Chain A
Amino acid sequence: MRDAALGVEGTPVVGEAAHAAGKAPGRLPGDPGVWMFITADVLLFGVFFFVFTSGRLADPEGYERSRQHLDAGFGLANTLILLTSSWLVVLAVEAAREGNREHVIRLLKLAMLVGAAFAVTKIVEYALKIQAGITVTTSEFFGYYYGFTAIHFLHFVIGMGVLALCLAKARREAIDERYVAWIESSGCYWHMVDLLWIVLFPMLYLLRAA
């Protein structure tokens, strides 16, 4: 069912619906192995959400007093950054399905550049908090804030490593079906990093107590 037409730069275009650069319906994107990691990670964070919610239920005033020391602007910036980086990775996956090496490389570089901004804002945010004397032991809220965001940051770093590997492979290898499976897997992991932050941001920064 492979489309034998030639795409940009003469590289073969892969996939049944190559011109639309969409995934074939009914097919799991990427390698099944990455979905085991994604499942484990989202379940882990599900436990975090439960622990935080229980903690907040026991001391809503205390949590709110702590929450007021957070700057929602940082959380907002981080969310917008990760969403943009995810979008660029989606475009890179589509470019890979179209067999367009140049676009894959350009989009992955952009995705990583935008992603790097997340690290910068996170480090600045942590630095400002620590300077203000707010640390892991300041309160239960901040124990969870630092813990969850640090573990999320670890996932972010792994995700950046995975994207870097995709970029390296795009430079040296053929943009064929094997590469498409690789970049799809990497993309899904990166979207998971985004997905986790989509829940963390409102949970930590935006739920203002009544």
Chain B
Amino acid sequence: MTSDVLRRPATRVWLGLMAATISSWAIAEQSESPRLAASFVVLIAAFKARLVIVHFMELDWRPMPWRILLEGWTFVSAAMILGGFWLASP
């Protein structure tokens, strides 16, 4: 079972998600520029959300607009959180 599992697309997506998460945490902890760090962190979160929506939830564009809703939610949430952060920064 193990070798089969390692070859599956879901496993590649999982490894990408784990790597993106660790990178995000490392950037936030180490970065000298909080504004740049926050931008990367939020964009990485939006990218991760999309991977889960498309590859784990397996949402297509048909038959109903659930994918549009969830992708839209991801975009609005990320834009709002990052926009709010920039506005709050000197």
The answer to whether residues A203 and B10 also contact, given A79-B21, A209-B34 and a CB cut-off of 8 A, is no
What chain A residues lie within 8 Å of B42 (beta carbons)? 202, 207
The answer to whether residues A199 and B52 also contact, given A91-B10, A94-B8, A207-B85 and a CB cut-off of 8 A, is no
B38–A49 touching, CB < 8 Å: no
B66–A39 touching, CB < 8 Å: yes
What chain A residues lie within 8 Å of B52 (beta carbons)? 86, 191, 194-195, 198
Measured CB to CB, the closest approach of chain B to A157, in angstroms, equals 20
Q: Which of A37-96 contact B (CB under 8 A)?
A: 38-39, 42-43, 46, 49-50, 53-54, 56-57, 60, 72, 75-76, 79-80, 83-84, 86-87, 89-91, 94
What chain B residues lie within 8 Å of A205 (beta carbons)? 28
Q: Which of B5, B35, B53, B88 contacts A57 (CB 8 A)?
A: B88
Q: Which of B10, B45, B80, B87 contacts A90 (CB 8 A)?
A: B10
Q: Could you tell me the distance between the alpha carbons of A43 and B77 in the complex, rounded to whole angstroms?
A: 10
The answer to whether residues A83 and B73 also contact, given A94-B8, A195-B49, A208-B28 and a CB cut-off of 8 A, is no
Q: Could you tell me the distance between the alpha carbons of A205 and B53 in the complex, rounded to whole angstroms?
A: 23
Q: Which of A22-30, A128-136, A171-179 contacts B (4 or more CB under 8 A)?
A: A22-30
**CB 8 Å contact bits of B15-41 with A (1 = contact, 0 = none):** 001100110110011000011011001
Measured CB to CB, the closest approach of chain B to A24, in angstroms, equals 9
Q: Which of B11, B22, B38, B64 contacts A28 (CB 8 A)?
A: B64
Q: Which A residue's beta carbon lies closest to that of B69? A: A39
Chain B residues touching A, range: 35 or more
Q: Could you tell me the distance between the alpha carbons of A23 and B57 in the complex, rounded to whole angstroms?
A: 10
The answer to whether residues A56 and B85 also contact, given A50-B80, A195-B52, A208-B28 and a CB cut-off of 8 A, is yes
* Most chain A CB atoms below 10 A, which of B22, B41, B90: B41
Measured CB to CB, the closest approach of chain A to B86, in angstroms, equals 9
A83–B18 touching, CB < 8 Å: yes
Residues of A whose CB lies within 8 Å of any CB of B are 22-23, 25-29, 32, 35, 38-39, 42-43, 46, 49-50, 53-54, 56-57, 60, 72, 75-76, 79-80, 83-84, 86-87, 89-91, 94, 103, 187-188, 191-192, 194-195, 198-199, 201-203, 205-210
Q: Can you offer 5 A-B residue contacts whose CB atoms are under 8 A?
A: A28-B66, A53-B80, A53-B84, A206-B24, A206-B41
Q: Which 5 pairs show the lowest CB-CB distances between chains A and B?
A: A53-B84, A87-B14, A206-B28, A60-B88, A210-B89
Given A43-B73, A56-B84, A205-B28; 20 other pairs, CB 8 A cutoff:
A27-B63, A28-B59, A28-B66, A39-B66, A53-B83, A56-B85, A57-B88, A79-B21, A83-B17, A90-B14, A94-B10, A191-B56, A192-B57, A194-B56, A198-B48, A198-B52, A202-B45, A207-B28, A209-B88, A210-B35
